[in-house]
Amino acid sequence: MIIAPLVFLFSLPAAAAPPARPDPTVTIEARAFKPGELLLVTVSGNDEKAPPSATVGGRALDFFPGASTGTWLAFLGLDLDYPLGPSMLEAALRAPGGRTVSKSEPFTVVDGAFPVVELKVEQKFVTPAKDDAERAEAEAAKLHKLFAKTEEKRLFEGRFDSPIPGAATARFGERRVFNGQPRSPHSGMDLKAKLGRPVRAPAAGKVLLADPLFYAGNTIILDHGLGLTTQFAHLSKFLVKPGDLVKKGQIIGKVGATGRVTGPHLHWALKLKTARIDPYSLVFLDLDAKLHAKPENPLIRSPFCAGGEGGADPAVPAPAWGRGSGGLRARARPTKPVYASGESVSLLVELQNTARKPAFLDFVRDAALRPLVLGVGEGPRAFDLLVSSKSASGPLTEQIKIPKNKTLCFEQNVSAAGPLLALATTSYALTYGTEFLYHSTSTIRAGVWRGRLSIPPVSISVSSAPAP
């Protein structure tokens, strides 16, 4: 008898297919979609080694890597003469592995409604003599060549700040009429300032120009790379020279009244290649979030802060808290026990939430503009006088959540009058008041803290040694 062997058949489960990777995405963000605005294009989930490509109106965008793997960024400048109506961004994205993904992202450009402004200046700046006209023409040709030689690589490290805190006396895009004769639109922002006020670099860059010009007076132009340049005109003094590399916040010159002016002020202009852009549209963009890893604790804004509870030099005693308002209280101290005479002072400011629920605060990121809510030696200033775009919270703020019993900690080294300095008898009185963020605005977001905090005066110990 032959017994057939038993055969057992096992059905093995099929190997699971790897999950499909999502396609890369593209987004466009801006303060507004109108002529004179700078747009930021972000591509996420792209191949980290092969940059995407994109065009708008046949013009190619230049992409550069962001902080996150697979994130690429590009600027798009809407010049003052950019056509109104629908536009389309056509992109070829690179999925990890090399697959190309086509994307189209529409946007609509609306009218900027720029006003007409009449000004009185010296007649020589309206109908210049032959020599002056030839000089101005030669200067324009020189600038054209300079802009063609800007750095292709990124020189700035993150967010751009305003070069001075000051109210706008003339806004971007105004149609100018000098002594009754129409001229080109205003391609920058004019900021009110006293003669001699320090002007700071809004971001790291390279000095392209530091020369007197016929119309713009003493002028500095910084190259920030990727086609971004900033101009600072009508200066009284140069503190840099062509070829210098400057850091963000470095003093590059001083406010003046040179060239075609009606009084002391700073003319601050921005270009993306040849596109004329409102510089505050660049300040609005949160480039820190795009170019730097997100901080583990958003309440810590200085290396002197420890765990959000304040961490100045242990030799600096903890000061008393000021009187609370709306669940918040504040205090401040110097970041080190002794300063040399004339040395720059940095104060560590802490805002603590003593309420039973979280507090939400509209925080001004730029230390140079923070005197609009943090009065140092004087009261805070009205916020909506500064920027060219008025919104309830202002375009220069971010909303920070402060949980109960937690502290927002940041540094401040300037007042509305300029840098804080250690002098023989130095004591700074401080006031923090966010009601100035909503000055003369009709809309206030619900749930956001607003009020005023008095901070006990901060005394600075000064040594007899001069600043290094």
Beta strands in 226-307 (DSSP E): 228-238, 245-246, 251-255, 265-272, 275-277
Contacts of 320 (CB under 8 A, 6+ apart): 331, 456
pLDDT at 441: 43
230-250 per-position pLDDT tens digit: 999 999 999 999 999 998 889
The Cα–Cα gap between 116 and 111 comes to 15
pLDDT at 237: 94
**Ranked by mean pLDDT, which of 192-206, 280-294, 415-429, 442-456 comes out on top?**
192-206
CA distances from 62 to 69, 75, 169, 170, 205 (A): 18, 7, 34, 31, 18
Q: Do domains 25-109 and 116-287 have the same CATH topology?
A: no
The rounded percent of the chain whose pLDDT value lies above 90 is 35
Residue 309 has pLDDT above 90, yes or no: no
181-195 per-position pLDDT tens digit: 545 676 788 888 889
Structure confidence at residue 292 as a pLDDT band (50, 70, 90): confident
Helix (H, G, I), strand (E, B) or coil at 288: helix
CATH topology of domain 116-287: Glucose Permease (Domain IIA) (2.70.70)
Residue 15 has pLDDT above 80, yes or no: no
The Cα–Cα gap between 414 and 421 comes to 9
161-179 per-position pLDDT tens digit: 889 876 676 667 666 555 5
Q: Quick one: tokens of 67? A: 């902080």
**Ranked by mean pLDDT, which of 53-67, 103-117, 248-262 comes out on top?**
53-67
Please write down the HEC assignment for all residues of 67-135. CCCCCEEEEEECCCCCCCEEEEEEEEEECCCCCEEEEEEEEEECCCCCCEEEECCCHHHCCCCHHHHHH
Please state, rounded to an integer, the average pLDDT across all residues of the chain: 80
Residue 57 has pLDDT above 60, yes or no: yes
Query: What are the extents of the domains in the chain?
Result: 25-109, 116-287, 295-466
pLDDT at 332: 92
Structure confidence at residue 428 as a pLDDT band (50, 70, 90): confident
315-330 per-position pLDDT tens digit: 688 889 999 999 999 9
Q: In what order do the strands lie in the sheet with 347-353?
A: 328-334, 347-353, 407-412
pLDDT at 85: 94
Structure confidence at residue 228 as a pLDDT band (50, 70, 90): very high
Number of Cβ atoms within 10 Å of the Cβ of 400: 17
Burial of 116 (0-12, 13-18, 19+ CB in 10 A): exposed
Torsion on CA atoms 338, 339, 344, 347, rounded to nearest 10: 10
- Is 254:199 a contact under the CB 8 Å cutoff? yes
The rounded percent of the chain whose pLDDT value lies above 70 is 78
pLDDT at 74: 96
335-388 per-position pLDDT tens digit: 888 888 888 888 999 999 999 899 998 888 777 778 778 888 766 655 444 433
Number of Cβ atoms within 10 Å of the Cβ of 115: 8
Contacts of 319 (CB under 8 A, 6+ apart): 331, 332, 333, 456, 458
Q: What's the Rg (C-alpha) of the chain?
A: 27
- The CATH architecture assigned to 25-109 reads Sandwich (2.60)
Amino acid symbol at 454: S
Number of Cβ atoms within 10 Å of the Cβ of 135: 15
Q: Quick one: tokens of 415? A: 């007042």
pLDDT at 99: 87
